[in-house]
C-alpha cells in the first residue's frame, strides 16, 4: 500500500490514506434460468460483495436463449468486474460456496440452475489447474458472455488470443438471441 491523497481509502488506525496496488481485476459472469431470475442475480451480487469484493463495474442484465442444452428456460446474464487481493483459487472457492448457498445443483451438464457464477478473467493470468481454467475456455464462443463483457470492458485484451473483447465479439459465430433485459 502506498500513501495517497484524501480520495484514497482511509486507514483510521494510522491516519493515512492508502491505495492497494496488488489488487487484481476479476471478471465474473452470472447466469440464472430457474425461479426468480432477477432476484437470484441480485442476491448473487450481494453475496459476492460480502464474500469476495464489491463490484467496481456491473453490466446491464441480458436475456439469452439457453446455450448447450437448448430446451432449457432462457437465462438472465450479467458480468461484474471486481478488484480483489484474493487468489484465483480463493475466488473460485467463494463463488462455488455462493452457488451452493443459493441452491445450485450440478446434476445435468448445461442444466437449468438458480445461479451460475463463472470466472471469466483473473487479471491477465492464464491458469490451467484441475479445477480452474482462466480465461474461461468458452468465453470467446459465447455471445451471452461477450456482449455484456464488451459493455463494461471493450478494450480488455484476452491474454491467450491477444485480441480485445470488441474484436472477439466481432468474430462471434454464435447466433443465440441476446437482448437487454427490461425489468418490470
Tens of pLDDT along the chain (184 residues)? 333 334 444 444 444 445 556 899 999 999 999 889 999 999 999 999 999 999 999 999 999 987 666 667 899 999 999 999 999 999 999 999 999 999 866 655 555 678 999 999 999 999 999 999 999 988 988 999 999 999 999 999 999 999 999 999 999 988 888 999 987 7
Q: For residue 184, what are the contacts with CB-CB under 8 A and spacing of at least 6? A: none
- Written as nine digits, the cell of 64 is 439469452
Active site residue 104: yes
DSSP-assigned letters across all residues of 132-149: EEES-TTGGG-HHHHHHH
Active-site pick, 118, 124, 142, 174 = 118
Report residue 124 CA to chain centroid gap.
15
Active-site pick, 37, 74, 106, 116 = 116
Active site residue 116: yes
Domain ranges of the chain: 22-180
Beta bridge pairs of residue 97: none
Active-site pick, 37, 74, 105, 113 = 113
Sign of CA dihedral 106, 108, 114, 117: positive
CATH tag for 22-180 (out of 3.40.50.2300, 3.40.50.300, 3.30.70.560, 3.30.70.260): 3.30.70.560
Give the pLDDT confidence of 165-175 residue by residue, as tens digits: 999 999 998 88
Q: Residue 12 burial (CB < 10 Å; 0-12/13-18/19+)?
A: exposed
Give the pLDDT confidence of 41-50 residue by residue, as tens digits: 999 999 999 9
Active site residue 37: no
Active site residue 113: yes
- Written as nine digits, the cell of 184 is 418490470
Give the pLDDT confidence of 23-36 residue by residue, as tens digits: 999 999 999 998 89
How would you list the strands of the sheet with 16-19, edge to edge?
A: 2-3, 16-19, 10-11
As a whole number of angstroms, the distance between CA 38 and CA 131 comes to 28
As a whole number of angstroms, the distance between CA 155 and CA 165 comes to 6
- Please report the pLDDT score of residue 180 as a whole number: 96
Q: E strand or H helix at 89, and its extent?
A: helix 88-101
Amino acid at each position: 500500500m502506498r500513501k495517497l491523497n484524501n480520495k484514497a481509502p482511509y486507514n483510521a488506525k494510522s491516519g493515512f490514506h492508502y491505495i492497494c496496488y496488488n489488487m487484481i481485476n476479476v471478471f465474473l459472469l452470472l447466469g440464472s434460468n430457474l425461479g426468480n431470475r432477477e432476484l437470484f442475480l441480485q442476491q448473487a451480487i450481494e453475496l459476492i460483495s460480502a464474500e469476495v469484493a464489491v463490484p467496481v463495474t456491473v453490466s446491464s442484465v441480458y436475456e439469452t436463449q439457453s446455450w448447450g442444452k437448448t430446451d432449457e428456460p432462457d437465462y438472465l446474464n450479467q458480468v461484474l468486474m471486481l478488484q480483489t487481493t484474493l487468489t484465483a483459487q480463493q475466488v473460485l472457492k467463494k463463488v462455488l460456496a455462493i452457488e451452493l448457498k443459493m441452491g445450485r445443483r450440478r446434476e445435468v451438464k448445461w442444466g437449468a440452475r438458480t445461479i451460475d457464477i463463472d470466472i471469466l478473467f483473473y487479471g491477465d493470468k492464464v491458469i490451467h489447474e484441475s479445477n480452474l481454467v482462466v480465461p474461461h475456455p468458452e468465453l470467446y464462443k459465447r455471445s451471452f458472455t461477450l456482449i455484456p463483457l464488451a459493455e463494461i470492458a471493450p478494450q480488455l485484451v484476452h491474454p491467450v488470443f491477444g485480441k480485445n473483447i470488441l474484436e472477439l465479439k466481432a468474430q462471434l459465430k454464435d447466433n443465440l438471441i441476446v437482448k437487454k433485459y427490461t425489468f418490470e
